[in-house]
Amino acid sequence: MRKSLIRTLALAALLAPLTSVFGQPLTLKGSDTLLGLSQKWAEAYQAQHSNAVIQVAGGGAATAFAALATKKLDIALVSRSLRYKEAEACVAAFGQRPQEYKLAVSALAVYVNASNSVKTLTYDELFSIFSGQRKNWSEFDGGDKLDISLYGPATNSLLGELFNEEVLAGKVTTLAAPQLANPDLLKAIASDPKGIGYGALPAVEGVRPVSIKRVFSSRPVLPSEATITNRTYPIARFVYGYVSPAANQVQAKAYLDWIRSDAGQQIAREAGFFPTAAKWRATP
């Protein structure tokens, strides 16, 4: 009897961590542009962990952070970092900021026609082009006397949102350009010597990416997997996970650590994102 009791207690001790990890559904809300990726991560994780329940919804980053601060959410999965007022709301609710995880990287390249001799553009120059302030390539170093043709993806797409927020600072609400999916966008620039646009890597024949400088004094950087992953290329930002202090921390960490594993990063890559460098996967 005593040995049987000992075995029972030992088994319970082994199962206790599993109960704590998979005991409750994990609720996630976040950026609409990340909903597809978030669903793919959740489906793959649940396929590997039969007791896990991951509930995923969109609604936008601001909505997710508001739900986090009102204790209605376990994880905010978002395409931008926590802002000051959003952090203050969490501190007021919990006495601390939510734990931040860097989960993947989103990025885009700015493309011109392969015949275009302009090699580098700054954020200010890109703003002047896409806001319509400058309309001829001769206004830029090495540019020929040609009118500029603009191309872009839909502004509510992942790359449209990234370009608008990171480069245009949200100040250009409408883009006077054809809105095309990435393959068609690059083909359009390849057939137009005056064309410029932005899209996903890799490039296609007939177009080339320009080097980007955040400001004039910066070092120009070409987009590549290496420069995007290590965040030396400017037009890139993390996909973040913010964990509510009220969430099951073991459960949330197990899920986000899996996302940052090679398996989770491969799913991000297949969805058009870039992996997070090892130095960021190890924290927190």
The CATH code of the domain that includes 178 is 3.40.190.10
Residue 177 has what pLDDT? 72
196 and 262 share one domain: no
138 and 75 share one domain: no
Residue 176 has what pLDDT? 67
176 and 210 share one domain: yes
Q: For 272-275, which contacts have Cβ atoms below 8 Å and span 24 or more sequence positions? A: 272/158, 272/200, 273/37, 273/104, 273/105, 273/106, 273/239, 274/104, 274/105, 274/106, 274/107, 274/225, 274/228, 274/229, 274/236, 275/104, 275/105, 275/229
| Whole-number Å distance between alpha carbons of 266 and 181 | 23
SS (H, E, C) 4-59: HHHHHHHHHHHHHHHHHHHCCCEEEEECHHHHHHHHHHHHHHHHHCCCCCEEEECC
pTM of the model: 0.87
140 and 181 share one domain: yes
What is the rounded average pLDDT of the residues 188-197? 96
97 and 113 share one domain: no
What is the rounded average pLDDT of the residues 124-141? 95
User: Is 7 domain-assigned?
Assistant: no
Q: Confidence class of residue 264 from pLDDT cuts 50, 70 and 90?
A: very high
User: Is 12 domain-assigned?
Assistant: no
User: Is 19 domain-assigned?
Assistant: no
| Residue 113 belongs to domain spanning | 109-222
Residue 11 has what pLDDT? 43
Tally of domains within the chain:
2
User: Is 218 domain-assigned?
Assistant: yes
User: Is 196 domain-assigned?
Assistant: yes
User: Is 190 domain-assigned?
Assistant: yes
Instruction: Summarize pLDDT for 50-77 with one digit per residue, the tens.
Output: 999 999 999 999 999 999 999 999 999 9
pLDDT at 121 over 90: yes
140 and 48 share one domain: no
Domain end point (choices 197, 222, 247): 222
